[in-house]
């Protein structure tokens, strides 16, 4: 794929319809390291993200803008810079590795299996916070039907859990200002614990 300009940097161009379809079922490598401040977990990769090989890459996804406006990053990163999150003690993974066109294509059993995988990942790498991006997926996967956005009572080892709204542009319940405020609350909570992410 040829390059085009994305927020001032050269990145691969948009995948074709064929490339998107070929990405169905693929997974993304985790952006993770021991001792992160926050590990963000999406529900599962979009076909677009799987096609280009980077997290939250689909146009219209507001994850990167929410991070920046909530001051979790000091500048607006592009999806193609997702590995730079590690320099800020942040990381990315997915509840379910399998890429689909829509998250509602996932079965309840996949979400529960994904939660088990996520628990193992968290116990291995021990981030201070696990942020799950999608309250419905969290409720189903972790078996907490009454969970709401925000800090959860449950923990995984010493890792605390925070549920954030899904940043997909398809999530009409949260416009960008409300999304940013939810992410800012996590940033403030994490700053009280182990330092400000943008200062890492």
| 47-103 pLDDT per residue, tens | 999 999 999 999 989 999 999 999 999 999 999 999 999 999 999 999 999 999 988
Which one, of 77, 116, 125, lies nearest residue 97 by Cα?
Answer: 116
For residues 175-190, average pLDDT: 93
Q: Answer whether 38's CB lies under 8 Å from 30's CB.
A: no
Q: Answer whether 75's CB lies under 8 Å from 68's CB.
A: yes
How far is residue 79's CA from residue 58's CA, in Å, rounded to a whole number? Answer: 9
Give the pLDDT confidence of 108-139 residue by residue, as tens digits.
999 999 999 999 999 999 999 999 999 999 99
Backbone angles phi, psi at 44, to 5 degrees: -165, 160
Long-range CB contacts for residues 2-6, cutoff 8 Å, separation at least 24: 6/78, 6/80
Strands (DSSP E) contained in 22-75 are 38-42
Give this prediction's pTM.
0.89
The pLDDT value recorded for residue 196 is 39
The pLDDT value recorded for residue 162 is 98
CATH number for the region 3-199 comes to: 3.40.470.10
């Amino acid at each position: 794929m040829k390059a085009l300009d994305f927020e001032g940097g050269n990145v691969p161009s948009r995948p074709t319809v064929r490339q998107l379809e070929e990405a169905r079922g693929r997974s993304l490598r985790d952006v993770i390291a021991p001792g992160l401040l926050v590990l963000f977990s999406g529900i599962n990769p979009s076909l677009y993200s799987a096609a280009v090989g980077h997290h939250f890459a689909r146009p219209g996804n507001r994850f990167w803008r929410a991070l920046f406006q909530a001051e979790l990053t000091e500048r607006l990163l592009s999806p193609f810079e997702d590995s730079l999150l590690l320099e800020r003690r942040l990381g990315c993974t997915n509840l379910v590795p399998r890429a689909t066109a829509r998250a509602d294509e996932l079965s309840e059993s996949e979400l529960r299996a994904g939660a088990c995988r996520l628990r193992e990942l968290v116990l291995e790498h021990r981030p201070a916070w696990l942020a799950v991006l999608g309250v419905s997926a969290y409720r189903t996967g972790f078996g907490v039907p009454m969970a709401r956005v925000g800090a959860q009572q449950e923990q995984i080892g010493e890792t605390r859990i925070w549920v954030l709204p899904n940043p997909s542009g398809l999530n009409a319940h949260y416009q960008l200002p409300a999304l940013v405020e939810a992410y800012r609350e996590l940033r403030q909570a994490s700053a009280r614990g182990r330092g400000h992410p943008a200062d890492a």
